[in-house]
Amino acid sequence: MKPPTQLLKQVKKGGEEEKMSVAVAVCSGPDGGRGSHRAVKWAVENLNLLPEPHKFILLHVMPPVTSIPTPSGNSIPIHELDPHVVKMYLQDRRVKLGEVFTPFKKYFRNIKVETMLLEGVNPAFVLVRHVSESRIKSLVLGSYSSTLFTRKSKGLNVPSIVLRYAPDTCDIYVISREKVITNLNNLLSVGDFTDSPKRNGGQTVELFEDEQICQISASEDSSGVLLDKEINHICGPSNQEAHATNKRSSSFSSLSSKNTNPQTEVEHLQSELRNSILMYKQACEQLAHAQNKVKELSSECLNDSRQVSVALQREELLKKIAAMEKAKHLEAIKEAELARDVLAKETYERQLAEMHALKESLEKQKIVNTLFVTDKRYRRYTQHEIEVATDFFSETRVIGEGGYGKVYKGTLDHTPVAIKVLRPDASDKKEEFLKEVEVLSRIRHPHLVSLLGASSESVCLVYEFMENGSLDEHIFCQNGKPALPWVVRFRIIYEIACGLTFLHNSKPESIVHRDLKPGNVLLDRNYMSKIGDVGLAKFISNVVPDDVTEYRDSVLAGTLHYMDPEYHRTGTLRPKSDLYAFGIIIIQLLTARHPKGILFAAEKAIRNGSWVNMLDKSVSNWPLLGTEELAQLALKCSQLRCRDRPDLDEEILPVLKRLCYLGRGPAVSLLDNHLSPPNHYFCPILQEVMNDPYIAADGFTYEHIAIKAWLEKHTVSPLTKLELKHKLLTPNYTLRSSIQEWKTKLQSASSNA
C-alpha cells in the first residue's frame, strides 16, 4: 500500500501538476493578531515541507463600504457621492488595509507569498465562497480561544462556520494555542507531520467530527437555517451532497481502544480510507463539472446582461441626443429670427445715421464756405497750393502730430506758415477741426495763434508759423530747445493770462479753452507766446455761477493732469475751469517738473520754507520773492472748487503785470541785444517801420495805408510790376507782433537809459 501522504496528490490538469495553493486567513487586533501569527508560522513550518509544490496566499476580509465619513463626524452614503471620489476613497482604503499583511511577511523569508483583500459582511461566508471559487487546496485559520467550539451568545465563530461549510476539496486547519483542528480529509496528511514535535511545537491534532457538528447544531437558533441557506447558495448542491456523505461515513473509533484487535482495526481503517478517497475523487469530479457549468452559465448571463445594458444605454443616449438636437434646432430658428430683426433695425439706424451725417456735413461745409465768402481776411487755398507748400506732404516737412493728423511747415504767399492736415480716417476729429475754424474766425488777438486760411479740398487749416515751437519743449529742453530766462518766463505767464482774458470776455458768448497746457502754448521768433489748438474750445452763452453745480457736458475733454477737478467730477464748465490748468503751467515754468503731483509738492515746499530747492536749476538768478509770490498765486488758481479761485481780470492780471516788469532794466535784455529793426520791418513803399502790415496778392508785406492807396490806382505789384490776381489784403499778424515786441523793447531800453 502506498504511504498516506501520496494518497493526497493534487488534481492533474492537462497532464501537468499545478501548484497547491495554501491560503492563510489573517486579521488585525490583539487577540486575532496573535492567532493569525500562530496560523502563518504553523503553515510555513508544516505545509511548506510537503513534497508537492505550494503557493502561499495571505487573505484578509474587509467589510464593504456603504458610506464615507466626513471631517465633521458624519457619514455620507456612497450613492450620493461622485463616483470618482468614491473610487479614490476605496483605493486609499485598500492601500491602508493592505498594511495588515506587513507583520506576517517576515515568516516567508525565501518563500514567494501573495496577498489578497476580500470584501464582505460575514468573513466566514466570504472565505467559504473564495475557497469554493478559487479551488484552494488548504486554508489555515488562527483561533484565539482555547475552547474553539464553545458557543457564544452571538452564535458560531469564523473557524466553526468554515470547518462546517467548507468544500471537501479544501483542507481546513484551525490553529489554536494548544491544538490543531482539521476536517476529516486531512487526517492522514496531518498525521505525517504530527509525528515531529519540532514542527508542531507540542500541539495535538484533533478531528472535527460529527459529534461536534451535532453539538453545534443542537444549540443553533433560527439563524442556523439562514446559515445553511447561505452556504447552499455559495457552495452549490454537489458540495452539499459530498458533505452529507462524509457525515454519514465519518465514524472513526478511538485508536487507543483496549478491547479491539489492532490488526483488525488497521484493516478497517484502510478500507474506510479507500472508500473515502474514492468518494473524494467522485466529489471532486462532480464539483469541477458543476463549477465549469456555473462558469459557463454565469458568463452567458453576464454577456446577455451587458448587451442589454449597452442597448439600454445606447437607446437612452440617442434619446438625449435627439432632444438636444431638437432644442438646438428651435434655438437656431429663434436666433435666425432675432438676427433678422436686428439686421433690419441696424439697417434702418445706419441709413438714418448716414442721413444725419450727410446733413451735418453739408451744414459744416456751409460754415466753412460762409467763412471765406463773408470774411476777406482768410484765403481759400487750392489743393495744389497746399501740396506745393508741403512738398506733397513730405515727412521732412512734419513739425508736429496729434490725434487729428500732422502739422507741416510750408510757405504760402512768401510767408512761413503751419499747415494742419486732418487725417482721412480721423472722422471723430472733424468736430474739433470745424470748431477751431469757428472759434478762430470770430476772434483776433496778439496772444492767440492766427488763422490765415484753409483748404476745403485738402481739409486743412493754415496758421501763422511759430518759429520757436511749444512752451513744453522749452520747459523740458526737448528737440534742442534752450531753457528760457526767468524774465521771459514771467512775461509768458502774463501773455497767457492776457489771451485767456480775451477768450473769457469775448462777446456775445464766452469761450472756454478746455485744453490749456504747455504743449498748446506756442512761441514765435521773438518768444512771444500765443495760445493755440482751440479745437476743444466751447462757447458758453449762460455762464454758471461759481456757487451753483450744474451738469452741462456729458463727454469730458482735455488732458488729465490739467483738467479742472470740478469739471471732471460734475461736467460743469465755467471760464474759471481754465484757471486750474493755468496755475499748473505757472508752477511748471518755475520748477520744470512733470504736472503729476506738482501742486502738492509746491505747497509743501512753500510751507516748509524749501521753495528755493524746488526752482528750476537751469536758471541761477531767480528773484526769490517774485517766484514765491507767483507760486502762491498759482496755488490759488488751482483750488479744487471754482468759487475758491481768484478773478482773472481783477486779481490775477494786476499781479502778473507788476511781476512781468521786475526784470526790465538797462542791464537786462530779453533775448536780443540788437535793438535796430530788421529789414523786413520796413514797408517797401514808405521805407519806414510798419505799424499795420498787410500781405498783398504778390506775397509781399506792406503798410496797410500805403498798399491800399496803391491798389486804388494800380493793378500791378509795387515791387514785381506784374499783374495782381486780386486786390485782397491779408493782415500779417506775425510780423505785427514782432514789430510791437521790438518797439516795446526799444521803449524800455530808452526809459531805463
Sole residue written with cell 518768444: 527
Q: Where are the alpha helices (DSSP H) in 485-591?
A: 486-504, 565-570, 577-591
Radius of gyration of the chain (CA): 57
Which are the contacts of 39, defined by CB distance < 8 A and separation ≥ 6?
24, 25, 26, 140, 141, 142, 173, 175
**How far are the Cα atoms of 126, 276, 290 from residue 64, in angstroms, in the given order?**
11, 39, 29
Which are the contacts of 477, defined by CB distance < 8 A and separation ≥ 6?
483, 618
**How far are the Cα atoms of 56, 547, 650, 736 from residue 503, in angstroms, in the given order?**
107, 22, 16, 20
DSSP 288-312: HHHHHHHHHHHHHHHHHHHHHHHHH
Which three cell numbers, joined as nine digits, stand for 587? 508752477
Q: How many CB atoms lie within 10 A of CB 635?
A: 16
DSSP state of 216: H
Q: Where are the alpha helices (DSSP H) in 186-261?
A: 187-194, 197-200, 210-218, 223-235, 237-248
Length of the chain: 753
User: Which 3-state string (H, E, C) describes 63-114?
Assistant: CCCCEEECCCCCEEEHHHCCHHHHHHHHHHHHHHHHHHHHHHHHHCCCCCEE
Question: Exactly one of 168, 171, 413, 515 is catalytic; which is it?
Answer: 515
Residue type, 178: E
Number of helices and strands in the chain (H, E): 22, 24
Is 409 known to sit in a ligand binding site?
no
E-assigned strand segments in 505-578: 510-512, 521-523, 529-531, 538-540
Query: Of 713, 733, 736, 716, nearest to 724 (Cα)?
Result: 716
Residues 605, 614 contacting (CB under 8 angstroms)? yes
**How far are the Cα atoms of 488, 528, 532, 597, 682 from residue 738, in angstroms, in the given order?**
15, 8, 18, 37, 12
Residue 515 annotated among the catalytic residues of the structure: yes
* Nearest-angstrom CA–CA distance, 505 and 510: 6
Which three cell numbers, joined as nine digits, stand for 208? 472535527
Residue type, 135: R
Catalytic residues: 515
Q: Which residues are annotated as a binding site?
A: 420
- Which residues contribute to the annotated binding site for ATP? 420
